[in-house]
Chains A and B, each alone.
Chain A
Amino acid sequence: MAKKANKVNIALIDKVKDELSNLISGTKDKLKDCCYIDLRLGVGEGQRAMAQDGMRKFSLRDYRFSYGLRVIAGRDITAAGYFGQTLGSADADNLAGVIEGGLRQAYERAIANSRMKSERKNRWEILGQSLRSTELAPMEICQHTVPGVYRINPVDVSLEEVSKLTQEVSKAVASYDPRVKVNQIMVETSLIRELVVSSEGASLDRTYALTQGLCVVVAIGNSGAQQTHYDVIGHQRGWEILIDGIDEELIKSKPLMHFALDLAADNVSLSETRPCPSSDKEVAVVTDPHYNTLLVHEIIGHPTELDRALKLETAYAGRSWFLRSLKETMLGKQVASPLVSAYSDPLLPGYGHYEYDDEGTPAKRVTHIDKGVFRGFMNSRQTAATLGVSPNGHFKAIDASLVPLIRMSTTVFGQGKHDPQKMIKEVDHGYYLVGHRIPSISESRENFRITARKVFEIKNGQLGEMFRDGGIMANTKDYLMSIDAVGNDLRIYPVFNCGKGQPMQAKKLGNGGPTLRGYARLVGGTK
């Protein structure tokens, strides 16, 4: 179907880029005691559809359009004020005028915040000393336009095609086996363009495609055991990934149809298995790259976000056991087996890919663990200034109207040298966990329990019985120190719903790792 011209499309940014850059720099110069302004503008064109049990349930082609502002201002002590707004077609012809209104509001908030901060700095006696001006660490100021990468432009696909694929996959899953009782297939494909401009002269204009297929399957076995599992295929690519699958060095996926049927097959098999047993003591556990995607997300990615470490997330997502105070940290200390490395790299492909973050900082690979030694955090300009380090480009928001947070880009366990098959063969008795399911992590990420899709017993180096409803529980450091083999099979998977922030921002990002072998307690269900 031919694309119908819409007032809100990604080409809009071409029309307003220079005007908005001038507005931001000009406003900063005009406003009294204003130190800094940045603006993020986002435009997206996309479509999504949902089918359940072979029936179409929803389809929509729409746009998204929003902006967000940060103003840092103040006389004695500086403070920040923010303003965010979602926009519509009616704003397209008067964008600068709308944003001017937001600038006034963000500035007034910054000035009021600065004044009240200054009052408390004096009033709170010794406890007022830690109140400081809001400072951003210096960074390279860049101007760059980054084009999107796709073979089939998401905007060129008809909504009917999106809806049809969704229904066909759902129908196929529904008819796969009578034990499949419910399935839901959700597809989205879109083209997004984001602009970051600042009063320092940064101007980053990035376009990217985003395509995703999410499958949920409920199966009930002959004994009545119910299994619900979901999985997602996704990439910063076009519609082609759902039709052809993905075959890249680090990211591989079958086309959506086969991907969904594999999930259905797993669910049906699992619904006929016994519940996973629990162990009183630690046992050998081999975990596959899909399981380690969630593991690295929870036990490495989150605690290496510097906003958590600096306590900004104490009330929400939690702190980090890697940093207690600026003088008490794990930097330079052994926190894992020497076989373990872990890092975040925005330049890797997949959901976590970008060249510049939402402050315009050039994205850099951050080593978190090198040969078992803790090395560093993902940061923003403000948290980098607090720690006295350089910004590394991990400040991201899911929508321009929301304030960015420090987020994972693509956080992975590094590649090892072991053959994954041998890692299993070397185990006399243990368990092989395949696929991640649901996590629960303690507040500073010092302990975790994460369930797997499938758990196999390993006996004399061979895979034995498969169990449902099981996972492992361990203290993070104890587990990381116990790792005695790291596979040579690094894979990256999409994580589509990482929640953080107030309001909650459910972000798409990348995680992954190779097969790992360590020791942890096996935990099954209560029934």
Chain B
Amino acid sequence: MKELRELEKSVERAVAFLKSQPEIKSAQVFASANNRLWTRLNYTSHIPCNGVEEVKSTVDYGIGIQIVLDGPDGSRIGFGSEERDLSLEGVKLALEKAKQGAIVDPEFRSLPQATGEKRSLFDYHDPMVMGITDEGLVGGGWKILDGALWSFLGSEKLRNMAPGGALHDLGLIVGGDLSILQERMAISSYDMPAVQSDESAAILAHVTSMVEKGDAKGSGYSVHLKLSDLDDAAGSEAAGNAINSLGGIRVPSGDYPVILGPQPIGELLSHLVIPSCTTGSFYSRQSCFLGKLGSQVASDGLTIVDKGNAPGLIGSKGITCEGLATGETTLIKEGVLSGLLSDWYEYQRILHDPNAKEKLGVNPGDVQQALVPRNGFRFARGGGRNFGTQPHAAATNVVFESASSTAFEALLKQIKRGILVGRLWYTYPIHGLRAGDFTSTLTADSYFIEDGEIKAPVKVNTLRINDNIANILMGIRGMTGEARPTILWAGDQIVYAPLGLMVDKVHFEAIAEFMDAAY
């Protein structure tokens, strides 16, 4: 992997070269190197398998250039990049592409400029994660499988289900992956000439386990900043949750009070709330919160903050991919929509949009602090800060902060007849983001609640939610203080979600009855 110093030198050299080109009015240069490493897991006790199915990686490095050129019809802006060449030759190739593609965009104001906010996070990654070997990568995957398999082998419940000790006939499944992200970037520009750089690394494990004969499924997750912390917990958690889900029951259609667990909270935030909290979604009139900046959009118990610079959180970065300081953006404060995630372009665009007041609900000049561009990232290719991508607004660590919290058991006690939703599947804004309607199915880790107690697991894939995100947000009645990080398939942000968030009413439909007699 390219060293940080090489990236820094490259952007410094590139900016010096660009400044020698008289037609270039302004430019920003971004160089990065990313390694994405995975062990993909697939253990099946009843079907021949490999255990660790894939040990793989994709690696890249290169340089990307945004330029502003003079033109007869106004400034022209262009972007070009070159892969695996940080030399001046690579810079020239990227520049040629940027010049060739340059266009006049009447909404373009400037390349990113200092916002006055200062960087606060430095040297926050574990060098050991950057140096993981292939042996360590493969071993990490097998270690997670060990956690799951020893949980299965040690389960009395499973032994009782398997006559003659034939545990393998139960259809035990462990799937998921261990992902390691290694990212380095450097940036410089005419407006911010001091070379800035950043280095980050993270370990994420995401495991699903099943006892298929019992239609029981469980999930396990773990995130680590230090290689020494990598353990088998995600595997053992997933297998344990699958075993706990044995004996699932069907629940009839209807409206129920619910407690949402961390994964469903992450799922709803990632597919509905966070995409609606960007300046771009307001500009294009697609946010489900259109016209509501400064208005109540959720129960007053809800406060959500994007924390891009928090030490010890997985999604933190020192600077954005636009060279600006990361920081905290309060998205919802005590139920009031309070801030939006921005990159520089969208920030400038909404500030100068003649329809901005109608779109935001307030005059943008009055709420400039709510729109500060702290979230312009170039996430792409399944992780990493990609030199070939232009910045876009992306969340980092989305954290729940509430003035009051309730113990999980106390939340349970408030429910006479309801559902603990532990994992949602395929959640989509079914009529577009603006409408807020969504649908989703319960696929694991869910339980029926009766008289304030967990009564029985809900059988997997037998309930569908049809509801609207506004009903969920306004219906929040309490949450735990304790939270955990959640990882979503193909998601860039980490949601630090409460262990339980209570909503007073959600609509469920009983589904897939034919499966009870399918086999």
Interface residues of A (CB under 8 A from B): 55-62, 65, 79-91, 105, 108-110, 112-113, 116-117, 120, 124-127, 129-132, 134, 159, 163, 181-182, 184, 218, 220, 226-229, 310-316, 318, 321, 324-326, 328, 330, 386, 401-403, 437-444, 446-447, 449, 451, 469, 471, 473, 475, 477-478, 499, 502-504, 523, 525-527
0 or 1 for each of B4-29: is its CB under 8 Å from A? (1 = yes): 00000000000000000000000000
Kindly state whether residue B512 has any CB partner on chain A within 8 Å. yes
A58 B175 Cβ-Cβ under 8 A: no
List residues 52-108 of chain B with CB under 8 A from any CB of chain A.
Answer: 52-60, 62, 79-85, 87, 89-90, 93, 97, 100-101, 103-107
Most A CB within 10 A of own CB, among B97, B434, B467, B490: B490
A442 B47 Cβ-Cβ under 8 A: no
* Bound-state Cα–Cα, A277 to B390, Å: 42
B103 A57 Cβ-Cβ under 8 A: yes
0 or 1 for each of B383-427: is its CB under 8 Å from A? (1 = yes): 100000010000000000000000000000000000000000111
B101 A182 Cβ-Cβ under 8 A: no
Question: A130-B43, A130-B49, A469-B431 given as contacts; is B175 within 8 A of A61 (CB)?
Answer: no
Question: A58-B103, A109-B55, A182-B284 given as contacts; is B511 within 8 A of A475 (CB)?
Answer: yes
* Bound-state Cα–Cα, A58 to B107, Å: 12
0 or 1 for each of B92-127: is its CB under 8 Å from A? (1 = yes): 010001001101111100000000000000000000
B48 A311 Cβ-Cβ under 8 A: no
A440 B56 Cβ-Cβ under 8 A: no
Taking CB atoms, residues of chain B closer than 8 Å to A328 are: 519
Most B CB within 10 A of own CB, among A131, A402, A440: A440
- Among B166-174, B188-196, B319-327, B330-338, the stretch that binds chain A is B166-174
A469 B46 Cβ-Cβ under 8 A: no
Taking CB atoms, residues of chain A closer than 8 Å to B79 are: 58, 60
Q: Given B47, B145, B435, which contacts A226 in the complex, CB threshold below 8 Å?
A: B435
Q: Given B40, B55, B167, B382, which contacts A126 in the complex, CB threshold below 8 Å?
A: B167
Taking CB atoms, residues of chain B closer than 8 Å to A60 are: 79-80, 97, 101
A218 B285 Cβ-Cβ under 8 A: yes
A325 B171 Cβ-Cβ under 8 A: yes
A89 B208 Cβ-Cβ under 8 A: no
Question: A59-B101, A475-B513, A475-B514 given as contacts; is B167 within 8 A of A130 (CB)?
Answer: no
Question: A109-B137, A475-B511 given as contacts; is B464 within 8 A of A442 (CB)?
Answer: yes
* Bound-state Cα–Cα, A492 to B381, Å: 29
- Among B300-308, B364-372, B439-447, B493-501, the stretch that binds chain A is B439-447
Taking CB atoms, residues of chain A closer than 8 Å to B390 are: 58
Taking CB atoms, residues of chain B closer than 8 Å to A446 are: 461, 511-512, 514-515
Kindly state whether residue B437 has any CB partner on chain A within 8 Å. yes
The 7 closest A-B pairs by CB, nearest first: A503-B382, A88-B83, A88-B84, A82-B56, A315-B208, A314-B175, A315-B175
CB nearest to B380 among chain A residues: A503
Per the CB 8 Å criterion, the residue count for chain B at the interface is: 112
A81 B435 Cβ-Cβ under 8 A: no
A502 B40 Cβ-Cβ under 8 A: yes
A120 B145 Cβ-Cβ under 8 A: yes
A130 B45 Cβ-Cβ under 8 A: yes
Most B CB within 10 A of own CB, among A105, A109, A324: A109
Q: Given B55, B146, B168, which contacts A130 in the complex, CB threshold below 8 Å?
A: B168
* Bound-state Cα–Cα, A357 to B437, Å: 39
B138 A127 Cβ-Cβ under 8 A: no
* Bound-state Cα–Cα, A61 to B97, Å: 7
A443 B40 Cβ-Cβ under 8 A: no
Kindly state whether residue B50 has any CB partner on chain A within 8 Å. yes
* Bound-state Cα–Cα, A112 to B433, Å: 46
Q: What is the CB-to-nearest-CB distance from B109 to chain A, in angstroms, rounded to a whole number?
A: 13
A442 B105 Cβ-Cβ under 8 A: no
B443 A502 Cβ-Cβ under 8 A: no
B50 A132 Cβ-Cβ under 8 A: yes
Taking CB atoms, residues of chain A closer than 8 Å to B511 are: 442, 446-447, 475
* Bound-state Cα–Cα, A56 to B101, Å: 11
Kindly state whether residue B482 has any CB partner on chain A within 8 Å. no
Taking CB atoms, residues of chain B closer than 8 Å to A311 are: 42, 44, 47, 173, 175, 210, 212
B468 A386 Cβ-Cβ under 8 A: no
Taking CB atoms, residues of chain A closer than 8 Å to B50 are: 79-80, 113, 117, 131-132, 134
A321 B518 Cβ-Cβ under 8 A: yes
Taking CB atoms, residues of chain B closer than 8 Å to A125 are: 153
Kindly state whether residue B36 has any CB partner on chain A within 8 Å. yes
Kindly state whether residue B296 has any CB partner on chain A within 8 Å. no
A478 B471 Cβ-Cβ under 8 A: no
Q: Given A84, A126, A527, which contacts B437 in the complex, CB threshold below 8 Å?
A: A527
Taking CB atoms, residues of chain B closer than 8 Å to A130 are: 43-49, 168
A62 B62 Cβ-Cβ under 8 A: no
Q: Given B45, B138, B152, B467, which contacts A112 in the complex, CB threshold below 8 Å?
A: B138
Taking CB atoms, residues of chain B closer than 8 Å to A478 are: 514
A325 B137 Cβ-Cβ under 8 A: no
A83 B57 Cβ-Cβ under 8 A: yes
A127 B167 Cβ-Cβ under 8 A: yes
What are 27 residue pairs bridging A and B, where the CB atoms are less than 8 Å apart in the complex? Answer: A55-B106, A60-B101, A79-B52, A88-B82, A89-B83, A90-B90, A108-B134, A112-B134, A112-B135, A112-B139, A117-B142, A124-B153, A127-B168, A130-B49, A227-B432, A314-B173, A316-B175, A321-B515, A439-B428, A442-B464, A444-B461, A475-B513, A499-B490, A503-B490, A525-B437, A526-B466, A527-B435
Kindly state whether residue B509 has any CB partner on chain A within 8 Å. yes
Q: What is the CB-to-nearest-CB distance from B147 to chain A, in angstroms, rounded to a whole number?
A: 12
A55 B105 Cβ-Cβ under 8 A: yes
